[in-house]
């Protein structure tokens, strides 16, 4: 799908290597514990951090309780955060000095809610057409049984992702 949506070989190489890098980073965070139960887990905070740090977003902008996520969920979420970060760098606050992103998450009963709030962007409006990145994000969230809502504020995009805790352990 990445290949079909690239206009040039160079663009294909760049987007594919970005996505593979996000997956590789996610897998680098996975800790395996062998014992009575075999589990492979990563921390949500570490995952968001390793994707946003190269974009200059400080850890102080990431806030939420410790949440352990399984290998599969970590791979899915790495792709989602990578697409959001890439867009923020292309069109949003990370393309300007003043902009930033706050990511907050909370656990409520059986769901995890993640808020992604961009600020300091300029004159953002809802796009009239979307690309493959949006499709990848939607499909990926759907695969882990979640939902996503975008709000286009003039100062930046806000995203709320809601996921069932049950799907995070996988």
Ligand X SMILES: Nc1ncnc2c1ncn2[C@@H]1O[C@H](COP(=O)(O)OP(=O)(O)O)[C@@H](O)[C@H]1O
- Give me the residues that bind Mg ion (CB under 5 A), please: 87, 133
| Strand ranges across the sheet with 68-70 | 31-33, 39-43, 68-70
**Beta strand pairing call for 68-70 and 100-108:** unpaired
Does 100 participate in binding ligand X (rule CB under 6 A)? no
The token pair at 77 is 């979420």
Rank residues 127 and 145 by Cβ distance to ligand X and give the closer one.
127
Q: Which of 74, 118, 146, 148 binds ligand X (CB under 6 A)?
A: 118
Rank residues 49 and 92 by Cβ distance to ligand X and give the closer one.
92
Choose from ligand X, Mg ion, none: what does 46 bind? Cβ within 5-8 Å by kind: none
Does 88 participate in binding ligand X (rule CB under 6 A)? yes
Closest CA to 16 of 72, 82, 90: 82
Choose from Mg ion, ligand X, none: what does 164 bind? Cβ within 5-8 Å by kind: none
| 88 contact partners, CB below 8 Å, separation of at least 6 | 55, 94, 95, 99, 101, 118, 121, 157
Choose from ligand X, Mg ion, none: what does 92 bind? Cβ within 5-8 Å by kind: ligand X
Does 168 participate in binding ligand X (rule CB under 6 A)? no
Distance (Å, rounded) from C-alpha 9 to C-alpha 25? Answer: 24
Place of tokens 């009963």: 109
Q: Which of 55, 91, 111, 120 binds ligand X (CB under 6 A)?
A: 91
**Residue with the CB atom nearest Mg ion in the bound state:** 133
Residue 60 has φ and ψ, to the nearest 5°, of -65, -15
Choose from ligand X, Mg ion, none: what does 79 bind? Cβ within 5-8 Å by kind: none
Residues that bind ligand X (CB under 6 A): 87-88, 90-92, 118, 121, 124, 127, 130-131, 133-134, 157
């Amino acid at each position: 799908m990445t290949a079909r949506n690239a206009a040039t070989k160079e663009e294909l190489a760049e987007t594919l290597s970005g996505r593979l890098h996000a997956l590789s980073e996610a897998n680098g965070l996975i800790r395996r514990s062998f014992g009575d139960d075999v589990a492979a887990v990563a921390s949500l905070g570490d995952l968001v951090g390793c994707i946003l740090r190269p974009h200059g977003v400080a850890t102080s902008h990431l806030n939420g309780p410790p949440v352990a996520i399984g290998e599969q969920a970590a791979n899915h979420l790495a792709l989602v955060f990578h697409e959001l970060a890439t867009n923020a760098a292309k069109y949003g606050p990370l393309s300007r000095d003043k902009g930033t992103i706050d990511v907050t998450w909370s656990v409520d009963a059986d769901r995890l809610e993640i808020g992604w709030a961009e600020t300091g962007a300029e004159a953002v409006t809802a796009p009239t057409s979307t690309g493959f990145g949006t499709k990848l994000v939607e499909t990926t969230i759907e695969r882990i049984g979640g939902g996503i809502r975008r709000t286009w504020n003039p100062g930046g995009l806000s995203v709320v992702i809601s996921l069932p805790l049950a799907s995070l352990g996988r």
